[in-house]
Chain A
Amino acid sequence: MTKLDDRVRRTAGTTGGTASPPRAPGRRSTWERIRRDRVLLLMGLPGVALLLGFHYLPLLGNLIAFQEYLPFVPLGRSPWVGFENFAVIANGDPEFLGALRNTLVITLVQVVFVFPAPIVLAIMLNSLLSERIKQVVQSVLYLPHFLSWVIVVAVFQQILGGSGLVNNAIRAAGGDAIDFLGNPNGFIALLTGQVIWKDTGWATILFLAVLSQIDSSLYEAARMDGASRWRQLWHVTLPGMRGIIILLLILRLGDSLTVGFEQILLQQAAVGRSASEVLDTYVYNNGVLGGQWGVAAAVGLVKGVVGVLLVLGANKLAHVFGEAGVYQKES
């Protein structure tokens, strides 16, 4: 690749094309190389500037986790306090522990209920005989994925809210309205239902792609051995999906500490913080709203570091299971 590229560059450097004497890139002086690539460097500059300014500078800004942040002092001039801000984590501050527990419970519930939903749906879609019907159904089911959480939460309010569709029907039938949205005990179920409504259809894409790759001769062989349709599902379809299922599951677990931040923030007022606080909302509520910048940054930093370790660990685990690993999630 590099060799070929060099040839292109050398060709480009001369008007004659083939006549230029070969020169190894290592022989060029740095200045010569900068001059040669100045247009490329200029083209990369805006992107690199954005990356440095809005990614690496904030990364460095995590140092305030070790400071007592004073809002009217320039960044980096606040007094250093060592690991004082990490005390909430080390000493197990109840509010922090509550947020951690909610985060992990929500992750667990979603792995159990949200994760299998698109697998089942993909198998059902795949069993449709008509391609056209399948496409129409897919078009409908993909749609909610593209709506923002603000819209999805608003839609759920119209259906389940106090004057929503369901409660109007209940009242019309003479019953008492049910408080679906403000009930702290039902909050995790509500979140889970919303995630299923929004993203199950979209999540079938990868599974459908894998299903279409399963060799049909395997089904024929199973049928000739007298396998029923359930046994074909168990012995052909599911083993064919094993790779993608393990991979996605491991990566979801690597993301354990991150659960629907915007989704929860939008609905926190209705159920109260103790039932709905997760690590990300803890950082927002205590930092930006509560003014405890150092503590919030410390919690965010620990969450980030643990998150990276989990993702790397998950990737390792994927390799152990013989999968390719390093799958990149969209948007």
Chain B
Amino acid sequence: MSATRSVTVPAGKARKHRPLDAPPLPSRMLTGFVLLVICLVVLLPFLGIVSTSIAPSSQVNGAGGFVLWPEGLDLSAYESIFAGGVVTRALLVSVGITVVGTLISLFVTAMLAYALSRPGSYGHGVVLSLVLVSLLFAPGLIPNYLVVKQFGLLDSYWALILPTALSAFNVIVMRSFFMAIPRELIESARIDGAGDFGVFLRIVLPLSKAVLAVIGLFYAVGYWNAFFNALLYINDTAKWPLQLVLRTYVINNAQLGGADLGTSSDALPPQASIQMAILVVSIVPILVLYPFLQRHFAKGVLTGAVKG
């Protein structure tokens, strides 16, 4: 019976064993219910965070700090964190580090990957080994710190960019994409008189927009989320990125006064609301990028697993 049915199914759908083999209804309902609960476990905290950040202060104080649904809209927590104090500054620092860092990382990674995509060029073997061996052995925290210190980068924004600017793994992934570009295209550009850099700029990069987007997103999320580098290298609180501010004022619960926030108003919103507003501000950029992240990263992980 099922054999004759599967012959009539179009080729694309033939690989699916369902709905020929649909599980019984109770089991489907159970699976659906469990997945719904799991989704709620992931989503409810976010709902609570957003709600607390916009709920009126009377409600937040009455609930003891965390509410799941706001009984009104009160944006004073956002007004206070954007008033020009520590949080505003940290946000600017984080955005700056992420933008500058991602551009530098992409540029350096793409150029190295391109240089390595041409076997037979001078020094190809040595440089490729340098990249591959670096994947195997990480130097360790203490020597990393001492080298950054020796370079005089402590308390410099460059300490948050340069040590992590190049990911050898990303170089390898990008190189494998570049090597898959048809030789004929490069050859014809060369016949038209393009040099190595011209081929890179006008042929290779435009054909690699997808991989540049994926790896750019990798780098951007990495820079945005980086916390420990800043803890290690940045002592000057004025140069703190957002993740460090989050740790200090949200996780460690340090009190944020009007002076820290840069407001002169006496009546601050509840600390809980301010904390949740900081949390929202640090999550929103990830949410904005998320549709791209999800689509491309899934591909990137599989590519990495297959080709890496």
Residues of A with Cβ closer than 8 Å to B? 1-2, 4-6, 8-9, 11-12, 15, 17, 25, 30, 33-34, 36-37, 39-41, 43-44, 46-48, 50-62, 64, 69, 74-75, 121, 124-125, 127-129, 137-144, 146-151, 153-155, 157-159, 163-165, 168, 171, 197, 201, 205-206, 209, 215-216, 219-220, 223-224, 229, 261-262, 265-266, 269, 280, 283-284, 287-288, 293, 296-297, 300-301, 303-304, 308, 311, 326-331
| CB contact between B17 and one of A138, A216, A265, A304 (< 8 Å): that residue | A216
Q: Which residues of A contact B111 (CB under 8 A)?
A: 43-44, 46-47
B95-131 contacts to A, CB under 8 A, are 107-109, 111-112, 114-116, 118-123, 127, 130-131
* CB pair B196 A229 closer than 8 Å: no
* CB pair B18 A129 closer than 8 Å: yes
Q: Which residues of B contact A59 (CB under 8 A)?
A: 137, 139, 143
B238-295 contacts to A, CB under 8 A, are 243, 246-247, 250-252, 272, 275-276, 279, 282-283, 286, 290, 293-294
B216-249 contacts to A, CB under 8 A, are 218, 221-222, 224-228, 232, 243, 246-247
Most B Cβ at <10 Å: residue of A17, A55, A159, A168 = A55
Q: In the complex, which residue of chain A has the Cβ closest to the Cβ of B143?
A: A61
Q: In the complex, which residue of chain A has the Cβ closest to the Cβ of B43?
A: A140
Additional pairs, 10, CB under 8 Å, beyond known A40-B196, A124-B35, A215-B15: A11-B187, A17-B191, A40-B118, A54-B165, A121-B38, A147-B283, A220-B2, A288-B142, A326-B308, A328-B172
* CB pair A8 B21 closer than 8 Å: no
B72 on interface, CB distance cutoff 8 Å: no
| CB contact between A219 and one of B21, B138, B150 (< 8 Å): that residue | B21
B180 on interface, CB distance cutoff 8 Å: no
Q: Which residues of A contact B166 (CB under 8 A)?
A: 47, 50-51, 54
Q: Evaluate whether A150 and B197 lie within 8 angstroms (CB atoms) in the complex, with A46-B108, A129-B22, A216-B14 already known.
A: no
| CB contact between B232 and one of A137, A159, A220, A288 (< 8 Å): that residue | A288
Q: In the complex, which residue of chain A has the Cβ closest to the Cβ of B148?
A: A54
Q: Which residues of B contact A164 (CB under 8 A)?
A: 65-66
B12 on interface, CB distance cutoff 8 Å: no
User: Nearest-CB distance from B116 to chain A (Å)?
Assistant: 7
A319 CA / B2 CA spacing, docked (Å): 39
Q: In the complex, which residue of chain B has the Cβ closest to the Cβ of A206?
A: B305
* CB pair B171 A151 closer than 8 Å: no
* CB pair A300 B120 closer than 8 Å: no
Q: Which residues of A contact B130 (CB under 8 A)?
A: 48, 51-52, 56
* CB pair A284 B247 closer than 8 Å: no
User: Nearest-CB distance from A17 to chain B (Å)?
Assistant: 6
* CB pair B169 A328 closer than 8 Å: yes
* CB pair B31 A159 closer than 8 Å: no
Q: Which residues of B contact A168 (CB under 8 A)?
A: 63-66
* CB pair A158 B48 closer than 8 Å: yes
Most A Cβ at <10 Å: residue of B18, B23, B42, B195 = B42
Q: Evaluate whether A58 and B143 lie within 8 angstroms (CB atoms) in the complex, with A40-B196, A46-B111, A158-B49 already known.
A: yes
B134 on interface, CB distance cutoff 8 Å: yes
* CB pair B134 A51 closer than 8 Å: yes
Q: Evaluate whether A148 and B18 lie within 8 angstroms (CB atoms) in the complex, with A124-B35, A201-B42 already known.
A: no
22 examples of A-B residue contacts, CB within 8 angstroms: A2-B119, A8-B183, A37-B121, A40-B114, A40-B118, A43-B200, A44-B111, A46-B107, A51-B130, A53-B147, A64-B142, A75-B147, A127-B31, A146-B221, A158-B52, A265-B228, A283-B142, A296-B141, A300-B141, A304-B140, A330-B297, A331-B222
Q: Which residues of A contact B66 (CB under 8 A)?
A: 158, 163-165, 168
Closest 9 CB pairs of A and B: A47-B112, A328-B308, A61-B143, A148-B225, A58-B139, A44-B115, A300-B140, A58-B143, A12-B190
Q: Which residues of B contact A55 (CB under 8 A)?
A: 134, 139, 168
* CB pair B39 A220 closer than 8 Å: no
Q: Which residues of B contact A121 (CB under 8 A)?
A: 38
Q: Which residues of A contact B147 (CB under 8 A)?
A: 53-54, 57-58, 61, 75
User: Nearest-CB distance from B9 to chain A (Å)?
Assistant: 10
* CB pair A297 B142 closer than 8 Å: yes
